[in-house]
A = this chain, B = another copy of it.
C-alpha cells in the first residue's frame, strides 16, 4: 500500500450530522439565516450520505465563494410568479438552489394532493445538489417525483456540432416501494460526468472510448486533452435530444438560462446563474391503491433481481440501490472524506473563522 493510500485510510469517517453542522456554520457566517442554513446543510449532508460525493460538502467552498462574490443571495425572497391549481413558476431570487428546490417540491406535493399531479418550475435558482434529492421528497409522500434541470456548465455540443451549447442536463425519477427502497433513477444525459474525466487526468489513466470525442469526431481517450473535445451524450443523437428537451422544459419555459446564457459558476462566481429546474409530483392515489401499487413496485424489483446474469455480474441492480446501501452505511458509520477534501474544508473553516471538522 502506498503512503498516500495509508493516509487516506487512516482518516476517520465523519458523522453526517458533523458534516451538516460544518456546512451550517459556514453558511451562517457568510450571512445565510440560521434556519435556511440548516435546511441547506441537511440536504447537502444527505447528498454525501447517499454517495453523491461530488454534490455534497465538496461544493461548500464554491457556494461560499458565490455568496461572498455576489452571485448568490444569502437573504432571498423566494416568490411564486405564476400559479395555476397544478402548476407554479417560482422565482428563486438567486437563493442557494436547495432552498428554491425544497420550496418548489413542497409546493408540488401540496398541489398534487388536490390535482393528482403538479409541475413546479424555477428560475433565478442555483445549483441544488444531486437531482435525486427532490424526487425522493415526493416519494416519501407516496408520490412519484420527476425532476430535471439545466446543468451549470456547457460541455456537450448539439449532435454533429462542435460548440458546447448543452450541459449534461440530468433527470431523476423516484418511485416508492413497500418492502424495498424507492426505485430512484438519477442520471446525466452524457455517458460520463466531467468529474470522472478530471479524475482520469489526475491518475494519468486513459479514458474508455465513448466518453469523449475530439473536434474531428475521433475518440478522445487522453484525459489530459479533455479541453480539446466534448462529452458524448448517451445513445448519440438520443442523449442530445433528451438534454435539449430538458433544457427547454427546465430553462426556456421558466425564463431561465439555456444555451449560450448558461453561466459556469465554477468559473464565474460573480454573475447570477439564473438556473432553471422543474419538479413534478404525481399522486399515486389518483391512479391506484397506494399500498397495492407499492407492492407491485416490490414485485417489479423482485422480477428484475430474478434475471440470470451475464458472466462476471453478481446480480442485477435497481436504480438507486447502490445509493440506498451507501446511505444506510454512512448514516451508521459516517462518510469517508478524502484528505484533499478535508484540507480544503479545514482551510475554508480557518478563513471563515469557524470550527473545523474534528
Q: Which residues of chain A have a CB within 8 Å of any CB of chain B? A: 82, 84-87, 89, 112, 114-119, 121, 144, 157-163, 165, 171, 173, 175, 183, 185, 187-188, 191, 215-217, 234-235, 237-239, 241-242, 244-245, 247-249, 252-255, 258-260, 280, 282-284, 286-288, 293, 296-297, 299-300, 303-304, 306-313, 315-319
Contact = CB atoms under 8 A, between A and B. Distances in A.
B312 A158 contact: no
A86 B86 contact: yes
A92 to B, nearest CB: 15
Nearest to A252: B296
Contact of A316 (B161, B175, B286): B161
A200 B19 CA distance: 56
Nearest to A304: B158
A241 B87 contact: no
A287 B254 contact: yes
Chain A contact surface mostly? mixed
15 contacts: A82-B287, A84-B286, A85-B115, A85-B116, A144-B253, A158-B307, A159-B317, A162-B308, A163-B306, A175-B248, A235-B235, A247-B300, A248-B297, A253-B293, A259-B304
A124 B105 CA distance: 32
B160 A288 contact: no
Nearest to A192: B235
A160 B315 contact: yes
A238 B117 contact: no
Contact of A286 (B87, B165, B188, B245): B87
Nearest to A249: B144
A33 to B, nearest CB: 29
Contacts of A183: 244-245, 248
A173, A299, A304: which has the most chain B beta carbons within 10 Å? A304
Contacts of A112: 86
Nearest to A87: B116
Given A82-B287, A116-B86, A287-B89, A158 B316 contact: yes
Given A183-B244, A187-B241, A316-B160, A84 B115 contact: yes
A253 to B, nearest CB: 5
A84 B89 CA distance: 22
Contacts of A114: 84-85
Contact of A319 (B187, B215, B241): B241
A284 B119 CA distance: 12
A308 B185 CA distance: 33
A297 B86 contact: no
A311 to B, nearest CB: 6
A116 B121 CA distance: 12
Contacts of A162: 307-310
Contacts of A300: 244, 247-248, 252, 258-259
